[in-house]
Each structure stands twice: as C-alpha cells, then as structure tokens.
Structure 1
Amino acid sequence: MAPAAPAAPRFPGRLPEFGAEVPSADVRHVANWTFFTGDHRGKSVVILDKKGAKVYTFDPQGQLTASTPALLGSAIGDDSAPGIGDKPLSAIRPEEKTTPAGRFVAEPGMNSHGEDIVWVDYDAAVSMHRVRPTVAAERRLQRLASPTEADNRISFGCINLPVRFYEDVLSPTVKKTGAIVYVLPETRGVQQVFGSRDVTDPAQVQAQQVAAVQPRAAAPAAAGVKQARVERDALPQ
C-alpha cells in the first residue's frame, strides 16, 4: 500500500485588528498574511512601511498595539551593500545608506555607550533605536514630528524611533514576546520579497497551503565583528 500523502499545513486563519488605523495596502497585506499563516511563529510583529516612513507593532494575537513615524535610510533601495556592516560610517557612500527590506528576527542588544538597541539586520549593522538628535543640522526631532514622510529619509540605514515609543512599546515588546520585523520594500513587490499571498483570495490561500514551509535561521557573527558593530551603532545613524 502506498504511503498516504502528507496533509497540507493548516494555518491559524486569524486576521489582524488595526482598530482606527488605516494602513497602506502593502501593510495590510503583510499583516494579514503573517497572522493568517502563522509566519510570525507566535511572536509579536513589527512592520516598517518604508514608503510611509511608519512603524506598526502588533501583539502575538494580531492586535495593533501602537504605530509611529520613523526615520530611515536616506537612500532609496531594498538591499544592503556588500560588507556594509563592517564599514566605518565615514566610508559609507550616499547610495549605500539604505534600510534593507525583508523578514528579520529582532534581537535585543547594547551599544558601546551602554544604550540598549534592537538589532534588525545584524549582518548589515541595521538596528532600531531611540532617535539621536546629536547633529542639530539634521533636525531629526523635527523630521519625526512633521506631518509628511517626505523628510524622514536621513539615517545611514538604521530605524530611528521616538524615545517614548522605543522605551514604552518596542523594547518591552521584543524582550517579553520576541518579535518578527517585516521591513516592506520600496523598489520591489511585497509578494516577491516575502513569498506572501493575498489571504483574502481563496486561490492564493490554497497555493500557499500546499507550499513547503522552510525554517529560517541566521548564522551567528564572529565575536570581533559583533563588537565592531556594537561600537558603530553608538554613533548617530
């Protein structure tokens, strides 16, 4: 007798709750997909909408907990330049100051000044941290407070957040439940980047259910490289 075919993976089928928030179509698509399929693996979810320069946080059950404007890489692009994580800030060219798109596992960390940060893409030395208004000419606080996202591109690639949001929302969330960070693309489609499907479309859901789900794992970096990135992240980025 031939062995029975393996059953298609079953998805939780839960959709997130945005409350009064009106997100972009891409934000809703990714949030719907990760909670419906369980791609967030029971962790909290952080979505960065680069086009809108806005961050959304969800608890593991899919309830929106907060949203905030954010500052991000000054260059348009969805990939990190090769070896960017090992370069000193002074060697990074303007076109290399991108915030990479993709799915990342948030990791609490600490820079060389004793300030806690949240690593997003460790290899590229990209983190989420409190906004650092140390260079007055950059007007980072004013950029965060402005009503438009047009002036929110200023960093070397790191994601700058309002202090209260970082301390009251992001940091406690990552420490308590862990978080998956989805950085939405701006030069490619979200389905191309995440392999996602429109979970409100039955045909796309069926296609997703029969696809194999591969575990994701990141290789640890060497200790010396890690220390270099910790020290670099203490600078305004």
Structure 2
Amino acid sequence: MRTWWEPVFGALLLGSLVVTPPVVAAPPGTPSRSAEQPPAPGAEVRALHAAIMRTRDHQGLAFAVIDKRAAALHVYNAEGHLLASTAVLLGLSRGDDSVPGIGDRALGDIQPHERTTPAGRFVSEPGVNLQGEDIVWIDYTAAVSIHRLRPVHVSQRRAQRLASPTPDDNRITHGCVNVPQAFYERHLAPLFGRQHALVYVLPEQRPLAEVFAQLLQP
C-alpha cells in the first residue's frame, strides 16, 4: 500500500459497493472553511500546543497539529508560532488507530471501515510517490501521508468537500490527509518536504489525555 498513491487509484477503489458520503450543504451566509478563511485552532489544539512548547517535545523542529473533529491542519514553525491553517480531507472511517499491517496491503483490499487516519505523535519525513511527486509521510509503515488534493472520481467531489463550511463531509480518503495544492506548496513543502518534522494528530474517539499522556501530564 505505501508504494501506491491514493488519488491515482481512488476511482478504482470505492466503486459501486461503497456509497460516497454526500457533500454537506451550508446554510446561507455561512463563512467558507477554504484556505482563504481557514479554521482557527480549537481548545484541544491550543492545549496540545501549550504542552508541546512547555516540554519542547518538538525538539526545535517545525510541527503540525491535525484536528480530526474539525478536519483542520495547523502548521507551526520551530519557534512554535502558528504560520497557517487549512481545512483537510481525512480517512473515510472515524477511528484513532491504523489496522495492523495495513501498509502492506493493496488499496483495493482495504475495507471502508479500515480507512482511518491514526491519532498520535509522528515524526514525518519527505517522500515521493510513484508519479515522482513529493509527499510528506506521517506514518510510512501504515502508508499514511499528507499530500496535495488531486481529482480522483468526479462523484467524490473532493474539492467541494474541502471548501465546504462544515467538517462533516471531509471524510473520504483511505487515511491520507489531503490539503489544497497552494497550501502544500507554500507552507508544507518548505518545512516538511525537505527534512523531518513532527505531526500531532488529535484523536476523535479516545481521550486527548490518553493519546498524549506524556505531554499532558502535570
């Protein structure tokens, strides 16, 4: 799985056996969650950021915090200053753990309920997909990466999901984190695409204090 690039093969994977989640319509006047009007860090993101800075857990590296409930990614520089935020697309199924051995399986063998974006602390590393395009590995073993948004199947409407004002329709991937292309080029490629960095993925089912116990302990 980790040698396959999800956007290229996505149209072959969901097929007619999986119902694509609908794009959630926004009430009139609702502000967009686009790259131009990004989501602000929530309470858990702020709490984790404070713990990271207190413990210096990021080891002087740039880092990102992914809030799965809000379907948002926040990028910080090595000094801990917030640089930018964006809405993201995440794994189709809610869950905080990757299925053991999933990185060695073909994408077509991965069931809908197994398509999760794992929570935890990850040391990211630059990578390249089969098409020669750079990506950022979150968890190489589980084949989870951050990469640019690319069209897959027209019915998935990934661009519309990314721009919608609600996080409820942002669950569509096999586990990878999709970001706008311009955001990737401006904020991720310079900091995460050339060296190791840290990526903290907030849980959506387990307590924050359980996943990041060492950081959040008094």
- Normalising by structure 1, report the TM-score: 0.73
Report what 2:49 is aligned to: 31
Rounded to whole Å, the distance in 1 between the matches of 2:158 and 2:105 is 23
Q: Which string of whole-angstrom CA distances, capped at 9 and with x for unpartnered residues, describes residues 73-128 of structure 1?
A: 01010000111101111100111000000100110000111111000011100000
Report what 2:166 is aligned to: 148
Q: Which string of whole-angstrom CA distances, capped at 9 and with x for unpartnered residues, describes residues 61-80 of structure 1?
A: 11100000000001010000
How much does 1:135 deviate? 1.1
8 Å CA contact 1:77, 1:99 repeated in 2:
yes
Taking structure 1 as reference, are residues 123 and 181 closer, same or farther at Cα in structure 2, changes over 3 Å only?
same
8 Å CA contact 2:126, 2:194 repeated in 1:
no
RMSD, matched Cα:
1.6
Rounded to whole Å, the distance in 1 between the matches of 2:105 and 2:53 is 36
Report what 2:15 is aligned to: none
Report what 1:85 is aligned to: 103
Structure 1: unaligned runs, 5 residues or longer: 1-19, 199-203, 206-237
How much does 1:176 deviate? 5.4
How much does 1:23 deviate? 2.1
8 Å CA contact 1:121, 1:127 repeated in 2:
yes
Rounded to whole Å, the distance in 1 between the matches of 2:213 and 2:70 is 22
The count of aligned residue pairs is 181
Query: Superposition pairs for residues 75-224 of structure 1, below 5 Å?
Result: 75-175=93-193, 178-196=196-214, 198=216, 205=218
Higher relative contact order (Cα pairs below 8 Å, separated by 6+ residues): 2
Q: Quick one: which amino acid aligns to residue 43 of structure 1?
A: L
Rounded to whole Å, the distance in 2 between the matches of 1:31 and 1:142 is 30
How much does 1:41 deviate? 0.5
Identity across aligned pairs (percent)? 51
Aligned pair 1:49/2:53, yes or no? no
Report what 1:40 is aligned to: 58
Rounded to whole Å, the distance in 2 between the matches of 1:124 and 1:89 is 12
Structure 2: unaligned runs, 5 residues or longer: 1-37
8 Å CA contact 1:102, 1:184 repeated in 2:
yes
Taking structure 1 as reference, are residues 21 and 148 closer, same or farther at Cα in structure 2, changes over 3 Å only?
closer
How much does 1:157 deviate? 0.2
